[in-house]
Amino acid sequence: MANILKVLKGTKDILPQEIDMWHFIEKKADEVFSKYGFKEIRTPIIEVTELFSRGVGDTTDIVNKEMYTFEKSERSITLRPENTAGVVRSFIENGMSRLSTPVKLWYKGPMFRYERPQAGRQRQFHQVGIEMFGIKQPTADAEIILTAVNYLNALGLNDLEVELNSLGCPKCREEFKNKLKEVLKPYLNDLCEDCQTRYEKNPLRLLDCKVESCQKIYSKPEVREIIMGDFLCDECREHYDELKLYLDKMSVKYNENKLLVRGLDYYNRTVFEIKSNNLGSQNAVAGGGRYDSLVEQLGGEPTPAIGFAIGMERLISLLPSKESKILDGYIVSNFPVDAFVFAEELRNQGLNIEFDLTNKKFTKQLEKASKVAKYALILGEDEIFKHQVSIKNLENGKQITVDRADCVKMLDL
């Protein structure tokens, strides 16, 4: 026997018995996001590599280590590792800046990162997310966070914590970066290789390191004093305080976390994560923030923007499994032509119907019906002659015979 080909490591089939859950979270996304005026956008899975190196940032692990990149026709192409850069590219390319603000977009679909597979995280994974363009006021930040919370609540997730921070603007952040570099300079050789690179290129991302030896250094009192200090300028402080006021008014519970910087270079001012207490150490369900310079960085006009993304596999791991949908009816008959015609009649009336394509014995068909449908629709010789159908409720065993024209209204669907 030939070797069986298997799915690639870090990827997974979504099987028919699992798909109802995916449909559920996608439908809820459409319902909740539409209430806030978001419209769905679908961008290509492949983009030019430059989009991510310029947009996500060449100091991030995503760009340095995790992207699936290949050459085609002398051009570097990458499977998208995240979708904000792609949505921004589409916003610019399709002239959406000419639309009235805010421009509100949401998306769903697969992303690709080459990393170690773990619970709730695959190399091909799926995200649902939203992006809002054109509003610089903290009302946009509050609405984005509220939308994320309400979406998760609509799925039945209530054991959540919002972590919040402000990274400031480039002006006030520069002073913080310099202070951070100064206090860390004596420990530079003790930092991990990635942090030594970040020290020069993007010191703020030092706080995102998960290496234990680096965490110990960042916990030292003199370093902690810099990290926990208030470096925000008056304008950024006002923006952050207003955001917290809106969240308080909407009873959104949050914790301020000075170490929260997120893993992408494009964030400024507001960053946030929503965590679940049911996921262990890798407990982030949703994350996002402001990226006011990204549109301009990718060639567009200066445009404030903010958004979030949610891992769909993570969501599914938190939700109770759903039973697969069953058929409205299964036609049991040893007269395949009549069964075929009747099945199509009922489908045209909006019912989900199957019948036995191989004309098995009556008892076998009835057994199959009991496993897959609410009702067995029996077409025997008498029923066909009288243009009737016998309807058997497969839950309580009750059976009635009615005219075929009355079949649909007699079903308790």
Q: Which of 207-211, 301-305, 357-361 has the lowest mean pLDDT?
A: 207-211
Mean pLDDT value across residues 207-234: 82
How far from the centroid of its chain's Cα atoms is residue 59's Cα? 24
**Predicted local distance difference test score (pLDDT) of residue 95:** 96
Task: List Cα–Cα distances, 407 to 62, 236, 330, in angstroms.
Answer: 58, 66, 13
Residue 203 pLDDT > 60: yes
Whether the CA torsion 253, 256, 259, 260 is positive or negative: it is: positive
Give the model's confidence band at 164: pLDDT under 50 very low, under 70 low, under 90 confident, else very high: very high
Residue 25 pLDDT > 90: yes
Residues 304, 308, 310: CA angle, nearest 5 degrees = 165
Tokens of 300: 């567009």
Q: What is the rounded CA–CA span in Å between residue 294 and residue 365?
A: 60
Residues pairing with 111 in the sheet: 125
User: Helix, strand, coil shares of the chain as percentages rounded to 5?
Assistant: 40, 25, 35
Q: Which of 83-97, 265-279, 361-375 has the lowest mean pLDDT?
A: 265-279
Mean pLDDT value across residues 346-354: 94
Residue 279 pLDDT > 90: no
**Predicted local distance difference test score (pLDDT) of residue 382:** 93
**Predicted local distance difference test score (pLDDT) of residue 86:** 95
**Predicted local distance difference test score (pLDDT) of residue 64:** 67
Q: What is the rounded CA–CA span in Å between residue 83 and residue 39?
A: 15
In DSSP notation, 75-141 reads: EEEEE-S-SHHHHHHHHHHTTGGGSPSPEEEEEEEEEE--S--BTTB-SEEEEEEEEEES--SHHHH
How far from the centroid of its chain's Cα atoms is residue 372's Cα? 31
Residue 346 pLDDT > 90: yes
Are 330 and 372 contacting, i.e. CB atoms less than 8 angstroms apart? yes
Q: Where are the domains of the chain?
A: 19-168+232-318, 327-410
**Predicted local distance difference test score (pLDDT) of residue 264:** 66
| Inter-helix orientation angle 138-154/234-249, to 10° | 40
**Predicted local distance difference test score (pLDDT) of residue 142:** 97
Q: What is the rounded CA–CA span in Å between residue 266 and residue 375?
A: 56
Whole-number mean pLDDT of the chain?
A: 89
Mean pLDDT value across residues 286-292: 94
**Sheet with strand 399-403: strands edge to edge:** 353-355, 327-333, 373-379, 388-393, 399-403
**Predicted local distance difference test score (pLDDT) of residue 99:** 95
Give the model's confidence band at 281: pLDDT under 50 very low, under 70 low, under 90 confident, else very high: low
pLDDT tens string 46-58: 999 999 888 776 6
Task: Kindly give the pairing relationship between strand 399-403 and strand 39-40.
Answer: unpaired
Residue 101 pLDDT > 80: yes
pLDDT tens string 102-152: 999 999 999 999 877 766 678 999 999 999 999 999 999 999 999 999 999
**Predicted local distance difference test score (pLDDT) of residue 88:** 96
The pLDDT > 70 percentage for the chain reads 95
pLDDT tens string 371-385: 999 999 999 999 999
Are 163 and 275 contacting, i.e. CB atoms less than 8 angstroms apart? yes
Q: What are phi and psi of 54, to 5 degrees?
A: -80, -40
**Whether CATH 3.40.50.800 fits 327-410:** yes
Tokens of 248: 């308080």
The pLDDT > 90 percentage for the chain reads 59
What is the distance between the terminal CA atoms of the chain, rounded to a whole angstrom?
48
Q: What are phi and psi of 48, to 5 degrees?
A: -65, 140
Q: What is the rounded CA–CA span in Å between residue 300 and residue 83?
A: 17
**Predicted local distance difference test score (pLDDT) of residue 53:** 85
Give the model's confidence band at 85: pLDDT under 50 very low, under 70 low, under 90 confident, else very high: very high
Q: What are phi and psi of 373, to 5 degrees?
A: -140, 165
pLDDT tens string 316-339: 988 888 778 899 999 999 999 999
| Inter-helix orientation angle 19-35/138-154, to 10° | 150
CATH architecture, domain 19-168+232-318: 2-Layer Sandwich (3.30)
pLDDT tens string 180-197: 888 888 888 888 888 888
